[in-house]
Structures are given as structure tokens and as C-alpha cells.
A and B are shown apart, each in its own frame.
Chain A
Amino acid sequence: MKKLVLGLAAAVALALPAQAQSKYPERPITMIVPFAAGGPTDIIARIVSENMSKTLGQQIVVENVAGAGGTTGITRAVTAAPDGYTIAMGHLGTFSAAPATYPGLKYDPINGMQTIGLAGGTPILIVAKKAFAPKDLKEFVTYVKANSDKVNEAHAGVGSVSWTTCTLLKGQLGVPKLNSVAYRGTGPALNDLVSGQVDFMCDQIVSVAEQIKAGTIKAYAVASAERSPALPDVPTTKEAGLPEYQIEAWNGIAAPKGLPKEAVDKLVDALDKALNDETVKKRLLDLGTVLPTKEERTPAGFAALIKRDADKLSPVLSAAPKQ
């Protein structure tokens, strides 16, 4: 027993100074994805982290900690020890919308965490069932305003990207009380849109693009500044007559506040290298992702994006009728 204690003490003694002067990273890094595996955020996290692992020389292990619209996982990640071994891949919802959606939120995305950088932007589309009367976005706006008691909107649950972006749309159209049908995730919502049980929804391009291409649903517009190469025929909201509806779902990496500068720099560098890698680029573009600009790949640029979208969403989300 005594030997064991001595041995342990020696091991700890050896480990401590080694840690103090060592080069980050010297063991695997955990990347918390606050959603179930297989979703859009998880896919982007896995594609990006695989390449980042190569640059860092240590494996980045993706850990799915789902719950409460992603806030459970982010809470755990940004309240972890700021040693660079726990980082998180969050999105529009968890970083910009969450403070307004979840009043008891235990983290502050603006001041309470260290941003690393944006990993990718995902355009948002306004889509409708095939048989929905309006032919284009202008008609859609008029129709929805005139028939607000008849139209059914579908979304993937409070806190989801589809709910957040649709609430913004309804707020801007002045019909916040439109009939809205909640589903558990995009899949079931999309199913009922395809079969015509509900009229329209807003969601990320990766979820709806194939259905649009197959003609099972129709798209009115993409809420980005430019058309998406994945769906070149779909006009932007600006072209189609609703310029104020500009919103993108994005995914980005954050870490606990107080991370050593060395770790921040290495992570930023690894993310940048990953986003410059041809395979990663191709994979992300196949998903309809918009690659981040140089500015958005920096901690400051990403933080500015979070702040910008939070300012845009907070008033609408706080005012949204929670029924």
C-alpha cells in the first residue's frame, strides 16, 4: 500500500511540471456537440474536427450531449476548465437565440465564453407544400397576411433553427400568431409538408434541398445575400421581394472563457487549415454550406456575428407568443 502511494505521488509529481511547460495539446480534445448524432451540426463538427485533429496532432473526440435545444451541452462545455481540452460546436440557436428563448440560461454567449471561429453557414429556405396556392414569395406574403387563420406553419420544436427562423419571419410579416404546428425534429415536419398536412416551414438547406430537387415540395426563397450553388434556381429573399428577411443558420466553435492564448491560437489555426482543405471544403459545399470568410474564422469576427444575430433575434423571440 505504501509503495502504491509513493508510486502515485511520484507519478503526479512527474505529471505536474510536465503539464506546466508542455505544448498544447498533449491529450485528446473533447468537442461537445449539443445535439444528437447525425444532425446538421453533428455532421459539420465531424467533418471539421477530423481535419483539425491532423493539424493539432491529437484526436478531437466528438461527444454528443443533447438536451434543451442544445443549451445543456453548451453549458457543460463553456463551464468546463479553460484548458483547451473541452470545446463545443454550437449554432445560431445556442449562441444567438438561446438567451432570449431560455430565460434561465446558465451561460452568456456574448461575454461568458471564448469564441474560436465560424465553421460554416447554412442558408435558410422558405419552403411550402407542392399544392400551396401562392406561386412566388410576393404572393406568399400577401396570401399569408390575408389568410392568417387558415395557413398552417410547421416547425421542428421550440428552440430549433426552424422555429427560430420562422418566428423571425412571422414577426417581420406581422403575423406572430399564425397557426403553428410543432414537430419533434425536422424529419417528421418535412414528412407532413411533403404529404400536404401543413402548408409551409423554414429550414436549413441541407434538410430540404433534396425534396426541392425532387419536386415534392417547393421553395420560395433563400434568406441569404446570394443564391446557393446547390439550388441555383431558388431566388434570394432580396430578389423575391422580402429583403428584410435575412438569416443564416451557422455553426461555430467556442470554448470556456479564460483559455490560454496558446490554445486559442492553435485552435483558430487548425480550424482555418481545416476550412482550406480541399476534401473538407468539398464535403461542406456538398451540404450547401457557405464557407466562412477570413474575418469570420477569427474569434473576434465570430463573436461579432453572434452579437449581430442576437440583436436581430432577441426582440422577436422575446415577444413571440409562447401560447
Chain B
Amino acid sequence: MSEMLAHLSLGFGVALTLKNVALCFVGCLVGTLIGVLPGVGPVATIAMLLPITFGLDPVGALIMLAGIYYGAQYGGSTTAILVNIPGEATAVVTTLDGHQMAKQGRAGVALGTAAIGSFVAGCAATLIIAALGAPLTRLALLFGPAEYFSLMVMGLCFAVVLARGSILKAFCMIMLGLLLSTVGTDLETGQERMTFGFPPLSDGIDFAVLAMGVFGFAEVLRNLENPEARDVVKSKIGRLLPDWNDLKQSAAPCLRGTLIGGTLGILPGNGAVLGPFASYTLEKKIAKDPSRFGKGAIEGVAGPESANNAGAQTAFIPLLTLGIPPNAVMALMVGAMTIHGIIPGPQVMTKNPDLFWGMIASMWIGNLMLLIINLPLVGVWVKLLQVPYRLMFPAILIFCSIGIYSVNNQPVDVAFTALFGLFGYLLIKLGFEPAPMLLGFVLGKLMEEKLRQALIISRGSFMTFIERPISAGLLLVAVAILVIALLPSMSKKRDEVFTE
């Protein structure tokens, strides 16, 4: 304990210099800005800002880049709540209840809850990293391909609970997502799969392209069709910030979300992406009245948002303690550290303690800044909703187009997004929900990769998934989730289940 305090005081000593606080603030501000813009993700921005950090010392540079990262994570939920566009896989869940709240005139409350939830989660995650960062590394190393595969299977079972309407249709969407995830060059043989021989497809479908299409563009098409529905958002503006009741309601989900997200974030195989989904599943399952979910339940924003932010932060653990980046942004942080002459590896903690603890301390400061930046902005965002829709959607379109273009600097991606917009519109017409599809899509690539790795290592024996205790445990949970979700449908009250 005293050791942890000593470490933290070293960290705060580094992070609380005027320069580093300023860099952290700039990072958070830029991050929030790019997070709010649909399409432009943290990866593109951090890449662009790398040269600017050349002149800074390594600690300052990394503090600023980390600020951009969690600023962007937070900003992404703003877009998800306001215009129903998830910029990142982790914001998909926030669209479910967050955007519904906005439609009910509770956009401010949703944004405020997200900000406060993220802050609480950020504080807790900072403490977790400081206290347990090093020992938790061992947990990460217990996860091999078999364990990841079972984890993904469990994740897919969450999607069943995500469904707002028919469970059968949710299954359809999960499988469709999995199918879409197999498009592109095969990892092991380099063969092209289902690409129509079209080069831009050879690396598969980009998440931003798919999400922006089936959520963003399709939502615009749906709104254009029902002029009444879209005006609801601007006609009512409720309270700007959550009141005591809202806070009381979101406190427990927020803590549970932090725990779930924080734990999954430690896994170097990008477990953080599952956090919000897992949290949402849990909240919906333990709620007294699950039917409120999908219709603007505040727990459906507080839990996943906390899980998201906690996971975003604990994702630094594998990077800082193992030297292994769990996702694309962290890979970029490796690049940033390398350019500054610090090559990430297991020795960063002992060789550069000021950098290690300084970054951890700056995370807490960054979270405080996000709160300070975002609470006043809530009013601005809500005002934006009053822009007439005839101008709002062209603005969404130009932002999305530029954003998608800048993901890979590929113009074809913009056309693809339009195609997926059409696809998403068709899905809406057919009564499908896109959220389970995106979950299937996100998990599909990883799942196939891990399945094949596990089976090559086990020489084709499926027993590997059951013989390894962690993997078996995860599969048991998956089965339990499925049974709980499907059992009622075996009984006579079938219609109630399907209308859940």
C-alpha cells in the first residue's frame, strides 16, 4: 500500500507540472473534438499529431496522446447519443438507450450520465492500474487462443440479450455480422474471400465504413421518411444535467460497469471491446423491468459508458507492463514511444518509472479534465440538436464523408459506406436491428483467428476448449446466458419473450 502511494506520488509529481497538465488538457480537448466528429477516429488523429510531439519530452508527448485517446473514447459516445452514430465499436451499445433518451428530450441527462459515469470509472481504473497493474499482467498471459475463442463465444451470447425485438432476428444479425467479418484476405493462406476480386475489399470491411453506413446513413434515410419522428428531438429539451434520482439510479450500474470493463480491458487481445456489451447484458438481466431497455433506460447508458472508459484505461496495462499493444490505438502508442526512444517492453516500469507512473497519474487528471470540458459542453451539444433537420443531415453527411475518407485515405471507402447505408436501410425495412450485427462483425475476425490458432496448436482437437479450465468456465457462462435467454421461450409464454 505504502509502495503504491509512493509510486502515485512520484507519478503526480511528474504529471502535475504546469506543462504536463497543459498537454493533458490539450490532448483531452482535441480528443473530445475528434471523438465527436463521426468517422475521424483516434488512430488517424494520433498519427497526424505524432510529428508535433517530436519536440516534446517523451512523458509529455505520451500524456498528450493518451489524452487524445480517452478524449476520443468519450467524445464518441456524444455522437452516439446525439445522432445515433457509433464511431467506435464500444459506442454501439450507447446508441441503444442513449439515443432513445435524446429522442425523449433527455439528451442532456444522457450526456451528463455518460460524463459522470466515465469519470467515476476513470478514477477507479487509475487505482486498479496503480495497485494491481503488475500482478494482473499474469492474468493476461493465462489467455491463449483457446481462452480468447471461448471469450468471443460468450460475447456473442450477449448479443442475444442486446436484441430489442425478435430473438430469431437477432440471431440472423449475429450470423450476418460473422459472415461479413470473413470478407477479405485469409490470414493464413492469403487467399481472397468473397471480395468479388475487388482490391479495396481485400483487407475486409472497415468497421467505420460498416457502422457509419448501417447506423449513420441508414438513420438519416429513416428520419427523412418520418418527418415527425426526427423533430421530437428538438421539440423537447429537458433538464441539462442528471438530477439526484438519475444519479442514484446509475450509481450501481456504473460501479458494475467499471469492474467488468476494467477486467476485460486488461486482456491483450482487445477484450475491452466486450466491456460495454457485457455491462449492458448484465444490467438488462438484473433489472426489475427489462422492457425499459432500448427505450431510454439510464442504466443502459451509465453501465456501458463506465465499462467503456474503464476498459479504455486498463487497456494500457498490457502495453505498459508487457509491451504488447491490445488494439490499433495502443499500437500507435507503441510507435509514439518508440519514436521517443522508449521501446515498450516488460521493463518500462522499472527502467522508466517516471514515465510509467506519470502516465498513470495523468490518466486521473485527464479524466477530471474530461469532466470539466464536457459538462459545460453538454449545453452546446443539446443546442445543436435544434438545428433544423434539413441542414443537420447534410452536415452529418459531409462530416461522415471526410471522416471515412481520412480513416484510410481511400475514396472508395466513402462509396462503400453509401452502399452499406442502403444495406442498413433495407435491414430497417425488414425489421432487423443492426447492433447485434456489429457485435458479430467485431468479434467474428478475432473469433475465426483464435479458433484456427487454437485448433492448429491442439492438432485439431476440440477438447482443447474444454480441457483448459478458463476456457471451459467461459463456455459455461455462455451456455448459462443462452439458457436464461431462451428457456422462457420453451414455455408457453412465448410471445412475451419475443416482445421483450
Decide yes or no whether B50 CB sits under 8 A from chain A: yes
Decide yes or no whether B347 CB sits under 8 A from chain A: yes
How many angstroms between the C-alpha atoms of A185 and B189 in the bound complex? 15
Helix, strand, loop or mixed for chain A's interface? mixed
Report whether B332 and A38 are in contact in the complex, using a CB–CB cutoff of 8 Å: yes
Report whether A187 and B51 are in contact in the complex, using a CB–CB cutoff of 8 Å: no
Inside 8 A of A210's CB, which chain B residues have their CB? 323, 343-347
Partner of A47, one of B142, B145, B187, B339: B339
How many angstroms between the C-alpha atoms of A191 and B186 in the bound complex? 21
Report whether B453 and A63 are in contact in the complex, using a CB–CB cutoff of 8 Å: no
How many angstroms between the C-alpha atoms of A96 and B143 in the bound complex? 36
Q: Who on chain A is nearest to B328 by CB?
A: A36
Report whether A322 and B457 are in contact in the complex, using a CB–CB cutoff of 8 Å: no
Report whether B339 and A211 are in contact in the complex, using a CB–CB cutoff of 8 Å: no
Partner of A37, one of B46, B188, B190, B324: B46
Inside 8 A of A198's CB, which chain B residues have their CB? 457
Inside 8 A of A75's CB, which chain B residues have their CB? 199
Decide yes or no whether A159 CB sits under 8 A from chain B: yes
How many angstroms between the C-alpha atoms of A287 and B343 in the bound complex? 8
Report whether A38 and B334 are in contact in the complex, using a CB–CB cutoff of 8 Å: yes
How many angstroms between the C-alpha atoms of A180 and B187 in the bound complex? 12
How many angstroms between the C-alpha atoms of A208 and B144 in the bound complex? 19
Report whether B410 and A65 are in contact in the complex, using a CB–CB cutoff of 8 Å: yes
Cβ of A183 to closest chain B Cβ, rounded Å: 7
Report whether A194 and B141 are in contact in the complex, using a CB–CB cutoff of 8 Å: yes
Q: Who on chain B is nearest to A185 by CB?
A: B331
What are 25 A-B contacts defined by CB distance under 8 Å?
A: A37-B46, A37-B332, A37-B335, A38-B47, A39-B331, A42-B47, A43-B335, A46-B50, A64-B408, A65-B410, A67-B199, A68-B199, A68-B203, A158-B189, A187-B331, A187-B334, A195-B140, A195-B142, A206-B338, A210-B344, A210-B347, A211-B345, A214-B346, A283-B341, A322-B191
**Residues of chain B at interface, number, CB under 8 A:** 56
Cβ of A97 to closest chain B Cβ, rounded Å: 12
Inside 8 A of B143's CB, which chain A residues have their CB? 195
How many angstroms between the C-alpha atoms of A184 and B338 in the bound complex? 20
Contact with A along B130-162 (1 / 0, CB 8 A): 000000000011111100000000000000000
How many angstroms between the C-alpha atoms of A182 and B54 in the bound complex? 34
Report whether A183 and B203 are in contact in the complex, using a CB–CB cutoff of 8 Å: no
Decide yes or no whether A101 CB sits under 8 A from chain B: yes
Contact with B along A175-186 (1 / 0, CB 8 A): 000011111110
Inside 8 A of B200's CB, which chain A residues have their CB? 67, 72
Report whether A192 and B144 are in contact in the complex, using a CB–CB cutoff of 8 Å: yes
Known contacts A65-B410, A158-B187, A214-B347, then 17 further A-B pairs from the complex at CB < 8 Å, ordered by chain A residue: A36-B328, A36-B332, A38-B331, A38-B332, A62-B51, A67-B202, A68-B202, A72-B203, A158-B186, A185-B331, A191-B324, A194-B141, A195-B142, A195-B144, A197-B144, A210-B344, A216-B346
Report whether B344 and A37 are in contact in the complex, using a CB–CB cutoff of 8 Å: no
Report whether B51 and A50 are in contact in the complex, using a CB–CB cutoff of 8 Å: yes
A63-B409, A152-B457, A206-B338 known; A191 and B268 CB under 8 Å? yes
Within 208-241 of A, Cβ neighbours of B (below 8 Å) are at 209-211, 213-214, 216
Most buried by A among B143, B199, B344: B199
Cβ of B56 to closest chain A Cβ, rounded Å: 14
How many angstroms between the C-alpha atoms of A83 and B189 in the bound complex? 37
Cβ of B315 to closest chain A Cβ, rounded Å: 12
Report whether A46 and B185 are in contact in the complex, using a CB–CB cutoff of 8 Å: no
Inside 8 A of B185's CB, which chain A residues have their CB? 68, 158
Decide yes or no whether B336 CB sits under 8 A from chain A: yes
Q: What are the nearest 5 A-B pairs in CB distance?
A: A210-B345, A38-B335, A37-B47, A158-B190, A38-B332
Partner of A182, one of B187, B203, B410: B187
How many angstroms between the C-alpha atoms of A195 and B200 in the bound complex? 35
Q: Who on chain A is nearest to B340 by CB?
A: A283
Cβ of A107 to closest chain B Cβ, rounded Å: 12
How many angstroms between the C-alpha atoms of A127 and B69 in the bound complex? 32
Inside 8 A of B187's CB, which chain A residues have their CB? 157-158, 182-184
Inside 8 A of A28's CB, which chain B residues have their CB? none
Decide yes or no whether A265 CB sits under 8 A from chain B: no
A195-B142, A216-B346 known; A187 and B449 CB under 8 Å? no
Cβ of A189 to closest chain B Cβ, rounded Å: 10
Inside 8 A of B408's CB, which chain A residues have their CB? 64-67
Cβ of B34 to closest chain A Cβ, rounded Å: 14
Report whether A181 and B47 are in contact in the complex, using a CB–CB cutoff of 8 Å: no
Q: Who on chain A is nearest to B187 by CB?
A: A182
Report whether A323 and B345 are in contact in the complex, using a CB–CB cutoff of 8 Å: no
A184-B187, A197-B457, A283-B341 known; A67 and B203 CB under 8 Å? yes
Cβ of A59 to closest chain B Cβ, rounded Å: 9
Q: Who on chain B is nearest to A190 by CB?
A: B324
Inside 8 A of A65's CB, which chain B residues have their CB? 408-410
Contact with B along A17-59 (1 / 0, CB 8 A): 0000000000000000000111100110011001000000000
Decide yes or no whether B234 CB sits under 8 A from chain A: no
Contact with A along B445-470 (1 / 0, CB 8 A): 10001001100110000000000000
Q: Who on chain A is nearest to B347 by CB?
A: A214
